[in-house]
Structure formats: C-alpha cells, structure tokens
Structure 1
C-alpha cells in the first residue's frame, strides 16, 4: 500500500516497509517516506483525458523503523538518507532526533522541504509553491506515516500484505544473507514462501 502526496514539482511517498539485514539477518519494519521529483509529461488526448503522473527521481528518504526483535515503538532502527546517488541511497544517517523524537523530527523536515532538497544537492527549480503546500500538509503526512508505523503492524501476514508489491526486493535481501542461520524464519515466512522456486535442467 502506497500513499502519495503529489505537488507541482515534487511528491511525498509514504508506505510500510520490511527489511532484512544482509549482515546479521535481523528484521526491521516501519514507515518509509521519500521525497521524489516529478517528471514533466507531454499532454495526451483531449482536455478531459487522464494524464500521466511520474514521480521518479529520489531526493531524500526517511526510514522510521523498529527492529522486529526489539521493543515496539522504540525506533531502534530509525534513520534517514539525506541524499541519493542516482537511484541509490547514501549511507544511513543515525541522527539522535530521528530515534528520540521521530514524528517531531519528520514534521520539521516536511516544514522546509526546500532545505531538505538543498542539502541533498537537488535544489528545487521553483520551490515556493511546493514548500508552502507541503508545510501546510505536514500534519496530515505525519498522521499517515504514523498509521504505517511498526506499532501498527501486528503480524508477519499483515506486514506482507502491506508490502507485497515490494516482495521481489525482500527476496533479493534473503538471497544476500551472510548469516542465514540467524534468520527468524517464522517472521519472514510469507516472503520465504513467496520466493520463486529455482528450477534445474536435467542434463
């Protein structure tokens, strides 16, 4: 399930996310938010035709995650990515405020999205309108983010239902585990069961 707040030049995407650490197989889940840039699209059809909406280029990401093996609502894995290199995020930033007061921190970031984009090295071409609209919508965006937090996801099957579209990415994570014996297979069961079966060719 993906929530999108779409503006003139930008979009804020909000969703639940599930992640497996390739290093030690621990599990994380919670809300992910991304600032994306919209791509102008050519008009198509008549004045009444539905138009394409493309929000592709990532600028900034916040991952307000709990560890599945930790305390719900403690945000032990909360972090953010202040910039991207193409489509790849930079290393995790573990700023204290992201873990200590995540919703207040998020509201602050949304209140000046122009500065967020500047720090990411992607200044907005015409920031005034989007900055004001996102600032005005910040309480609503935060409320939607809270509805997709780890504390709102009470089971493996609910987590899978909320992130099913991203299952191929979780399958990639599961294929990169350095310590697969540490994996909580019961909690990861929906993703393990949905992995494509490997086929062998008889010689």
Structure 2
C-alpha cells in the first residue's frame, strides 16, 4: 500500500517497507519520501481526469527497526538527497532514533530545507511549501500506521509490501554465499509474481 499526498509540484509518499540486508537481517517500518510531480499537459475536456506523474525523488526517511533488535530503531536513517532515482548513502541521526516521530515532524515542517539539502531551489515548489507544512500531522499519522512498533504478522507485512517482491528477490542476490536467511519468513515475497 502506498499513500500519496500530492500538491501542485510536491508529493509525499508514505508506505510500509520491508527489506533484507546483505547480512540477512530484516528491516521493517515506515518509508516517507519527498518527490516532485512532473508537470503534465491538460488532456481532454474541462472535466477529464488528469495524469499525475510523481517521478523525481529528492529526500527519503526510513523509520525502520531491525527484527533482531526490536524497539531500538537500529535501522532508522535518512537519505538527504538522490542522484536521479538512486538514494544517497544512509545517514543515521541520534534524534531520529531517540524520537523518530518528532524528528519526522520537524523534517517535514521545513520542506524548503529538504529541497535545498538535495541541491534544489525551493522556489520550484512555490506555494506547496506552506500547504505541505499544514498537512504534516496527517502525513506523520499515516507514517505511524506503518511504523515498526505496529504489531504485524509476516502475512500482514506482505499484504502491505507485496509490490516489493521483485526488490526483495534482488536483495537476496546481494547476500554472500554461506550467509543463511529464513526462507520461510520470506516465502510470500519469493512466490509473488507480477
């Protein structure tokens, strides 16, 4: 499931995320991504449905916990910018692990700074900066719904992240030979096909 808050040029995507690292540890929680909407020409009549293209990521917060250390927010990190569609390296912050939801609220309350940190001119988003700030409580509320502290079974997690099955299979190719992982825990993602 993916929840998108879209404005005129800014969008915020919130979702549950699941991944497995090269050391075979699994991480779960909320992913919050800031993106730009690509302007689209009007199509059809004045009543026609319009195309919404959300395609330029510039900031991502992964409010994750490791399943081997629940409650420690040990995998919570931020990607402060992107190179095209590829995120920058993970940046860990004591503020993020101490008070993840307060940290997220603070970060989203300053979207102009997030744009600047990503090397973009905040003017590209115009009036959206104020509009996004107004919606921060709703965005953080949606993210909390997907947070790692929410009790979920493997099947609950899969239901919300089944679109990531291809990515999970790619992550498994990064695990070195001889490093074991729980195939049964990953079975739904491994069996899911497009």
1:55 alignment partner in structure 2: 54
TM-score, with normalisation over the residues of structure 2? 0.94
TM-score, with normalisation over the residues of structure 1? 0.90
Distance 1:56 1:90 in 2: 17
Which aligned pairs between 1:178-189 and structure 2 lie closer than 5 A? 178-179=176-177, 181-189=179-187
Cα 1:141–1:26 shift into 2, 3 Å: same
1:101 alignment partner in structure 2: 99
Larger Rg: 1
How far does residue 131 in structure 1 lie from its aligned partner after superposition?
1.2
| Structure 2: segments with no counterpart, 5+ residues | none
Distance 1:8 1:38 in 2: 7
* 1:117-136: CA deviation from partner (whole Å, max 9, x where unpaired): 10110223344411111111
| Structure 1: segments with no counterpart, 5+ residues | 197-203
1:147 alignment partner in structure 2: 145
Distance 2:19 2:107 in 1: 23
Which aligned pairs between 1:1-203 and structure 2 lie closer than 5 A? 1-22=1-22, 24-71=23-70, 73-179=71-177, 181-194=179-192
* 1:3-60: CA deviation from partner (whole Å, max 9, x where unpaired): 00001111000000001102x1110010001000010001111000000001101100
> How many corresponding residue pairs?
194
Structure 1 segments (4+ residues) deviating >4 Å: none
